[in-house]
Homo-oligomer: A and B are copies of this chain.
Amino acid sequence: MPDTGTTAAAFAPANIALCKYWGKRNQELNLPMTSSLSVSLGDKGAATRITITDHDQDIMTLNGAAVPLFSEFGQRLMVFLDLFRLNLYRPPASLRFHVDTTTSVPIAAGLASSACGFAALVLALNKLFHWQLDARHLSILARMGSGSACRSIWPGFVEWEQGQDADGMDSYGKIIPEVWPELCMGLLMVNEKEKNISSRVAMQRTVETSTLYSAWPDKVEQDLADIKQAIHEKDFSLLGKTAESNALAMHGTMLAAWPPVNYCLPETMAAMQKIWALRIEGLSLYFTQDAGPNLKLLFLEQDRATVQSHFNLDIVRPFC
């Protein structure tokens, strides 16, 4: 068992899906109903330091503040850490951790904070215990913490292949070896408050109650093919249009759930209308939206100044 004070740190980028992960076929293993595809947010993400402590309980801090162990997030982290310490060091395992995470994306606002958080934790654990796991196994472990975390092991474009195996060993993120330096993503924060329904609850409710969900796997299949073609051919309008339509369709499946699931605030709607109006005027500007009210705008470097003249954005160039 490692000594008290042993420490390791790692960073993982946030990732924004261009073709969304929405719905699980296995809750416990976070196995998805469909494949998905994301692009990472460069140096925006989570930096996690994990340290062996002699406290009698785990200590968790998030952006400098203590996370109560019995909060939903605290429990989720403990259950995840138990996967390792209970298997590595049989109970009663006295191994306790101090997990200190700093994120450069807002928490629980649909900016993939849990994805990069769990990915960074897995990377830090790998260092701490000298596991020397390959990317595939790191991705699988990250997926156990939060589904989309399996895509945050890599930078750039990543496809999470849904896999078929019951144990999920074929369900992990794979890098798509393409770069697109002109690609920009603008984070449009319409509201920094935590969402009122977590994506894990929302997706489960959608799978269980939304009749429209039955059409979602076909939508993903078409969109994945189009997005991969767009990336390969650097066809930005195909990329933008497919990503936007995929996000809107995901939100469409939620509207048909009961009780209805809606992440659009009035400000979200106003921003969408502004984007649509600018596009009609000829600007090549698209958006995607996750399980939160904020939008992520997609555009090319050549349109950056124009886009910035209309929106107050935090701009990321995933490949620069």
Q: CB within 8 Å of B: which residues of A?
A: 210-216, 218-219, 222, 241, 244-245, 248-249, 251-256, 258-260, 262, 264-270, 272-273, 276
**When chains A and B are docked, how far (Å) is the Cα of A249 from the Cα of B216?**
13
* B252-A255 in contact (CB<8A): yes
Give A212 to B241 CA distance when docked, in angstroms: 16
**Bound Cα distance from A272 to B272, whole angstroms:** 18
Q: Specify which chain B residues have a CB less than 8 angstroms from the CB of A249 in the assembled complex.
A: 210-212, 255-256
Number of copies: 2
Determine which of B214, B252, B259 lies in contact with A252 in the assembled complex, contact meaning CB atoms within 8 Å. Answer: B252
> What CA separation (Å) do A93 and B5 show in the bound complex?
98
How far, in whole Å, are A268 and B265 apart by their CA atoms in the complex? 10
Partner of A248, one of B215, B216, B222, B255: B255
- What 4 pairs between A and B have smallest CB-CB spacing? A252-B252, A266-B266, A249-B256, A211-B219
Pick the residue among B214, B256, B270 that contacts A266 (CB under 8 A): B270
15 A-B contact pairs sorted by A residue (CB < 8 Å): A210-B249, A212-B252, A213-B215, A214-B214, A215-B215, A249-B255, A249-B256, A252-B255, A260-B276, A262-B272, A262-B276, A265-B273, A266-B267, A266-B269, A266-B273
State the main secondary structure of chain A at its contact with B.
helix
Q: Which of B219, B259, B260, B272 is close to A212, meaning CB atoms less than 8 Å apart? A: B219
Cβ-defined contact, A245 with B269, below 8 A: no
A218 and B222 in contact, given A258-B245, A264-B264, A269-B265 (Cβ under 8 angstroms): no
CA distance A218 to B254 in the complex (A): 16
**Shortest CB distance A243–B (Å):** 12
